[in-house]
Chain A
Amino acid sequence: MSGAELKGDRTDAAVVAAIRSGDEHGMAALYDRYSAVVYSVALRVLGDTGAAEDVLQEVFMQLWRNPGLFDSSRGSLGPWLAVIARHRAIDGLRKRRPETDIADVVVSVEPDMAGDAERARAMEKVRGTLGSMPSPQRQALEMAYFEGLSHSEISEKTGEPLGTIKTRIRSGLLALRKAFAT
């Protein structure tokens, strides 16, 4: 399987199969499809282009070294990479050892983010949903997601009760899900 073949409309499953067989072009194809998603979330968390590039490199190399980490029957590749990248970036931000076992991460979501147009539409919808959230709810969700702060830390920073923060975080995530419910 050549890189040219992979760049077209190959499914994620075909790209992963290429990587499993040790095809280096498969990695290039995977990078071209998902590097922006991985990099942008790492950059938002870390606020440093060099550190974000390190996360990008680490996430893709982990998959190259052990493609069995991703099980295509348990979710889509793009969302899985986005979640792993966010975990790794938060680990870097908080200067801690990786706390999440990648092999255990199952991600269930629509859309699967494989196509550029599909990703762009989803991006607009997510931004619209976040924009329409009450400010305190968006703030709590963003502090938990992009700063990796616990509900206790957010509660201390905002002066809001713990229970309120917990509720805001969960309902914020559910609002995103609802926006994509058919």
Chain B
Amino acid sequence: MSLHEQFAEDLALYALGTLQGEERAVLEKHLEGCAGCRRELEQLRGDMALMALSTAGPVPPQRARQRLIEAVAREPRRAAVAARSRWWTVVPWVVAGALAVGLVVVWLQNSDLQQRIAGLQNESAQQLSELQRAREVVSTLTATDAMRVTLVAAKTPPQPQGKAIYVRDRSSLIFLASNLQPLPPQKAYELWLIPTSGAPIPAGVFKPDAHGSAAVVEPPLPAGVQAKAFAITVEPESGSSVPTLPIVMVGAGE
């Protein structure tokens, strides 16, 4: 697919960030449905990167390197832990927000004030109890010191196994695996959600621990995708946007 010539010059201005107003809006709308023009935009940005090389020569002072290293040290990051803890740490705030709004409404409706407050308190206690239970479940699923046992038919050697639990309406996915084979250097496993239509969707890059166990909890996924199956491939550590064959594990929905 090639670019549409009527947009050729505007695409260059758009890549440079100088196209404004209606021309910009029209082009952005066109780009949504035109792969050829999107490809040309990527190449124009490549041309812009080449243009940057014309300035090469000056090097930043040593203090700039030190400044960056100090800033990085001030913001240590453990991406996996942060991702895992994200959804349930938000829940108390959501509960608290709902309670606050609920209490204001009750205060305004003084006819059955006491009754409503009591109801909300019960609801709050119930939500907190559910929250506690959810925390315990996730904590058990993801604990590094958890004992993980895969049960198979007696006298059967252990096989690599994975279990994906997916709730489409919440785009929520938990994946647990055991007995995975060790990976070659600089490789990782990647989980794929295979939708009922369309291309496989990346659902998390992971490496098994020394016992072959691994977990992927709440990877970012597009909303409301109907899953047909889940699959595992071996990819570079940084992950891929399309699966590299062969598929090493696969399972269809029950």
Contact = CB atoms under 8 A, between A and B. Distances in A.
B130 interface: no
A79 B17 contact: no
A44 B56 CA distance: 9
Contacts of A150: 13, 18-20
A69 interface: no
B115 to A, nearest CB: 48
Contacts of A71: 241
A86 B44 CA distance: 14
Max chain A CB contacts within 10 Å: which of B42, B50, B72, B186?
B50
B12 interface: yes
Contact of B49 (A52, A57, A78): A78
A159 B209 CA distance: 67
B67 interface: yes
B72 A61 contact: yes
Contact of B60 (A36, A107, A177): A36
Contacts, number: 198
B79 A21 contact: yes
Q: On chain A, which size bracket covers the interface?
A: 35 or more
Contacts of B240: 73
B48 to A, nearest CB: 5
Given A17-B238, A27-B69, A148 B17 contact: yes
Interface in A122-153: 122-123, 126-127, 130, 141, 144-145, 148-151
Contacts of B253: none
Contacts of B76: 22, 24
Given A41-B52, A61-B72, A151 B65 contact: no
A113 B78 CA distance: 29
- Consensus secondary structure, chain A interface: helix
A100 B17 contact: yes
B12 A173 contact: yes
Contacts of A28: 65, 69
B149 interface: no
Given A31-B68, A99-B17, A173 B48 contact: yes
Interface string A64-88: 1101000111110011101101110
A6 interface: no
Most B CB atoms within 10 A — which of A16, A27, A65, A82? A82
B49 A83 contact: yes
B16 A145 contact: yes
Interface string B168-184: 00000000000000000
A44 B57 CA distance: 10
Nearest to B9: A166
Contact of B53 (A37, A56, A100): A37
B58 interface: yes
Contacts of B72: 24, 27, 61, 64
B242 A73 contact: yes
Nearest to A17: B237
Contacts of A75: 42, 46
Interface in A91-136: 99-100, 105-110, 113, 119, 122-123, 126-127, 130
B102 interface: no
A176 B240 CA distance: 30
Contacts of B58: 36, 39-40, 43
Given A36-B56, A148-B17, A148-B18, 11 more contacts: A24-B72, A31-B68, A31-B69, A61-B75, A71-B241, A83-B48, A83-B49, A83-B52, A85-B52, A109-B50, A179-B50
29 contacts: A16-B238, A21-B79, A22-B76, A24-B72, A27-B72, A36-B58, A36-B60, A40-B56, A43-B55, A53-B60, A60-B68, A67-B79, A72-B236, A74-B241, A78-B49, A79-B46, A82-B48, A82-B52, A83-B48, A106-B45, A107-B45, A151-B13, A169-B12, A169-B13, A173-B12, A173-B44, A177-B46, A177-B47, A179-B50
